[in-house]
Structure 1
Amino acid sequence: MADSAIFDHAPVGLVYTENRQMLRLNARFAAIFGYEVAELEGASLALLYPSPDDFTQTGAHWTRELGQHGDYADERIMRRKDGALFWCRVRGQALDPAAPLARAVWSFADLSRERPVAALSRRERQVGVLLVEGLTAKEIARRLEISPRTVHVHKNRLMTRFGVRNSLELVRCLTSMPL
């Protein structure tokens, strides 16, 4: 009984998934996304992503990270029931690192008050997040499977959009001003 109360009343959204299907979640998790608990139970996490491509790419990345480390954390843009996009802090733990997405527990924290979403393309967001993580253009290119030149094009667009002169200013802007 106490375990259930802790799960149900946690100050962050919690969800237990099997193969990226939501099997158990708390009311806070449902509220973050604008749903009732019953609407999400049994549904795919794909429902909460900005696009099917984001869902697929995130799954591949989670599989690598959870398989190597057993846990995972990032900040990403997610989608509410009404279609609104928002920043969310995501942390996950695989129950079996050998089968990372088979069974996992995730926490989601809504960051929309601190980080409103700016109008950037999906690729600009991806490049911006990886720049903030400290990756070089070559590392970003490998991660996103694009050319280093394409990374520089997106980085230059971001610099123009935010009115900054160099990478340090861009990273400062991206970390204090949401993507």
Structure 2
Amino acid sequence: MTSRQYWKSLDFDFAETYSLLRGETGFHFYNQIQEKSRKEPDQKKRDELLSLSIRGSIDLLKQQGIYHPTAVKTNVFARKSREVEQLSQILQTEFIEQSLWMCGKTFRDAIVFYKGGKIVSHINICLSCHWIETCKEVSIDTDDRVFPKLREFFTAIGHPVAEN
């Protein structure tokens, strides 16, 4: 599915943006994972914990809708807002080329979509390796031109985009 197809499939009333795994909270979260892994006697569980720490590929929301411990809500936008229109234009950029970087995805940005007060979907975004996944861990084919635009969009709305 392309980002354009994903966007056209959405039916929502409002969207929230989240920043996660940044700053002191993200630093402490990683340290806690690494400390737990050192104490874990089971090699498989230890590897899973370390992988979690290294990749940082943690969904903003767990199955039950619990937010990630480092997530900070940065904005709420109505469906008809100027910001959602900007986001629409960005995500509907025609898919031409997507670079597949060899780095581990670290989802530090997310957008959650609501309809009738309930979550209908969300996307996790890694601006570093140009990757977007849905809440069901489905990769969204996204043109490389989208990511600088997303970075600019997040910056304009006061959403932190620095890597730390």
> Which structure has the greater CA radius of gyration?
1
> TM-score under structure 2 normalisation?
0.25
- Using CA pairs under 8 Å that are at least 6 residues apart, name the structure with larger relative contact order, 1 or 2: 2
Higher-helix-fraction structure: 1
> TM-score under structure 1 normalisation?
0.24
